[in-house]
Amino acid sequence: MDLLTALVDKGLRRELPSREEALAVLATSDDDLLDVVAAAGRVRRQWFGHRVKLNYLVNLKSGLCPEDCSYCSQRLGSQAGILKYTWLKPEEAAAAASAGVAGGAKRVCLVASGRGPTDRDVDRVSQTIAAIKDQNEDVEVCACLGLLSGGQADRLRAAGADAYNHNLNTSEGTYGSITTTHTYADRVDTVQQAQAAGLSACSGLIAGMGESDEDLVDVVFGLRELDPDSVPVNFLIPFEGTPLAEQWNLTPQRCLRILAMVRFVCPDVEVRLAGGREVHLRTMQPLALHLANSIFLGDYLTSEGQAGQADLDMIADAGFEVEGADTVTLPEHRSAGVCGTHEAGCGSGGCGEGDAGGCHDTAAEPAVPAARTDLVAVRRRGAGTDLPPNA
């Protein structure tokens, strides 16, 4: 197929596809799906081999958020029956992190609900980072604390944080319909603050919120311009008690096309298969490993994932291997500038005007299956509980 051949060639050269080509990937038919996965898989293997990086989430403070993000179970006014607790003590967070590291995770992601941290919160997280690295010296620590204010990124970097996560989530054009208490520009600014402080930027999206193909391409091209080192791809978990509880419009095939598009647009970036994979990809999760080179191990912030051992078995059965702690995740041309220098970028090519033909199919998407609300399980174990974590 002309489209896939062109996209593979561009991906191997780290060249940006055109918007038309990215849209054409999302419009491919189910009959062409395995060809799309195979093509994007070639690009993934070129830059990341057969390695899968494991990441582990620790929810430092759950619920109690004043922001109104429609997708979030921790939002202001949420009726979702999630765990709610204030800040974990550093030793509690370190114990949770150690469970993830023991399960094979090389990065621990420290997340706290809220608009953004106070200076006192940054002090708390700094103490937590120290406690984690005291027990696991080589582990990567990524902080995700919301919108940053002046100097906070530098303080986190000085405390030992390696990365900062702040997702764009959706396109600039639709952002106002998802969240009203802050803006898309606020999110971009926080990512740029993290990069300026020398933190590895992690920023991604949420698919399945009712957005169009154009919206998906817009946000991924926006991410490409920001040039994060990691791009988590989340699939909406429609929690009962949130405004998007009825948004069940993803199929496993749709999820795979989205992941393939992200891989073609950001070929040499860590693409992370993130929240919602169990709910929407279901038995097709192993195919997604041919597109993403990174996953979260075990549970998420407020929902339960599949068993940690099932994650490890899936990786092995699909012919992949867990990335070791002594292996650098990013390709050499990116890892040399991982601390915010951006000399290599997400790719060296310009925005081409290539023909998107060959594989474009405008046939309607197949009917979306009935909502699988049985697959949305609120987290009741791990951080903030007396039960052992899933890792």
Active site residue 69: yes
The one catalytic residue in 124, 142, 255, 257 is: 142
Expressed in angstroms, the distance from the first to the final Cα of the chain is 41
Please report where in the chains the tokens 């948004």 appear, as a residue. 247
SS3 percent helix, strand, coil of the chain, rounded to 5, is 40, 15, 50
Nearest-angstrom CA–CA distance, 84 and 140: 26
Active site residue 257: no
Nearest-angstrom CA–CA distance, 75 and 212: 24
Give the phi and the psi of residue 149 in degrees, each rounded to 5.
Answer: -110, 175
Residue from 353, 355, 336 nearest 344 by CA: 336
Active site residue 255: no
The one catalytic residue in 19, 69, 107, 124 is: 69
Active site residue 44: no
The one catalytic residue in 14, 72, 224, 359 is: 72
Helical spans, DSSP H, in the chain: 2-12, 19-26, 33-48, 90-102, 119-135, 152-159, 175-178, 184-196, 213-226, 252-265, 277-280, 285-288, 308-317, 332-335
Nearest-angstrom CA–CA distance, 169 and 235: 10
Annotated binding-site ranges: 65, 69, 72, 109, 142, 202, 272
Active site residue 65: yes
The one catalytic residue in 14, 19, 44, 65 is: 65
Active site residue 266: no
The one catalytic residue in 272, 277, 334, 379 is: 272
Annotated binding-site ranges for [2Fe-2S] cluster: 109, 142, 202, 272
Q: Give SS3 for 266.
A: coil
Annotated binding-site ranges for [4Fe-4S] cluster: 65, 69, 72
Nearest-angstrom CA–CA distance, 308 and 382: 12
The one catalytic residue in 44, 109, 187, 277 is: 109
Nearest-angstrom CA–CA distance, 12 and 45: 10
**Contacting residues for 212 by C-beta, under 8 A, at least 6 apart:** none
Report the b/e string of 339-364 with b at 16+ CB within 10 A. bbebebbbbeeeeeebebebbbeeee
Residue 236 burial class via C-beta count within 10 angstroms: exposed 0-12, middle 13-18, buried 19 and up: buried
Nearest-angstrom CA–CA distance, 391 and 101: 8
Active site residue 339: no
Q: Give SS3 for 121.
A: helix
Cβ–Cβ under 8 Å, residues 378 and 80:
yes
Active-site residues, by number, are 65, 69, 72, 109, 142, 202, 272
